[in-house]
C-alpha cells in the first residue's frame, strides 16, 4: 500500500524567508503527486501536481515542487514566503494503477509566517 510522510509538522518562518517542505512516499510503481493547501477555515485547494515530464513543477502563488524519483520525494519550495502563505500543506500521492482513483495524504505541515 502507498504511504506519504511529511516530516515537518509545524514550521514557523518570517516573511521573505525561503520555504522547503519535505514529502516522501512509498510506492514502487508510477505515481501522480500533488500538493494541496488549506487556508484557515477553508477547504483544501490544489497547489500543484506532477504527472510526468519535467520533474520541476510550478504551481500557483510562486510555489514549486521537485520530483526526485530516486529519493521517492516531492518537496515543496517557495523562495520568499508571505504572511498570506500561513496555512496547512498536504502532500498526496495517487498510484496510477490504482483502480480506486484514491489519493493518499500525508499528515500535513502547518506553516506559520510571521509578519
Partner 1 sequence: NAGVTQTPKFQVLKTGQSMTLQCAQDMNHNSMYWYRQDPGMGLRLIYYSASEGTTDKGEVPNGYNVSRLNKREFSLRLESAAPSQTSVYFCASSEWGKAEKLFFGSGTQLSVL
Member of 8, 44, 62, 77 binding partner 1 (CB under 8 A) = 44
Among 4, 21, 57, 65, binds partner 1 (CB under 8 A): 4
Q: Sort strands 87-95 and 31-38 into parallel, antiparallel or unpaired.
A: antiparallel
Q: Are 35 and 22 in contact (CB under 8 A)?
A: no
Place of cell 502547518: 110
CB-count burial class (<10 Å; 0-12, 13-18, 19+) for 8? middle
34 near partner 1, rule: CB under 8 A:
yes
* 2 part of the interface to partner 1, by CB under 8 A: no
Burial of 78 (0-12, 13-18, 19+ CB in 10 A): buried
**Is residue 71 within 8 Å of 65, Cβ to Cβ?**
no
Site membership for partner 1, residue 55 (CB under 8 A): no
Q: Give me the least distance between CB of 100 and partner 1, in Å please.
A: 7
Select the span of 13-21, 60-68, 70-78, 97-105 touching partner 1 (CB under 8 A): 97-105
Which member of 25, 76, 85, 94 binds partner 1 (CB under 8 A)? 94
Could you list the residues that contact partner 1 (CB under 8 A)? 4, 6, 9, 32, 34, 42-46, 49, 51, 90, 92, 94, 100-108
Amino acid at each position: 500500500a502507498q504511504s506519504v510522510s511529511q516530516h515537518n509538522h509545524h514550521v514557523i518562518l518570517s516573511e521573505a524567508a525561503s520555504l522547503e517542505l519535505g514529502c516522501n512516499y512509498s510506492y514502487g510503481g508510477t505515481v501522480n503527486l500533488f500538493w494541496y493547501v488549506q487556508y484557515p477555515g477553508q477547504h483544501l485547494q490544489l497547489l500543484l501536481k506532477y504527472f510526468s515530464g519535467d520533474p520541476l513543477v510550478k504551481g500557483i502563488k510562486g510555489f514549486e515542487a521537485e520530483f526526485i524519483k530516486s529519493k521517492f520525494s516531492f518537496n515543496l519550495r517557495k523562495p520568499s514566503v508571505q504572511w498570506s502563505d500561513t496555512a496547512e500543506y498536504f502532500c498526496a500521492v495517487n498510484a496510477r494503477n490504482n483502480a480506486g482513483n484514491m489519493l493518499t495524504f500525508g499528515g500535513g505541515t502547518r506553516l506559520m509566517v510571521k509578519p
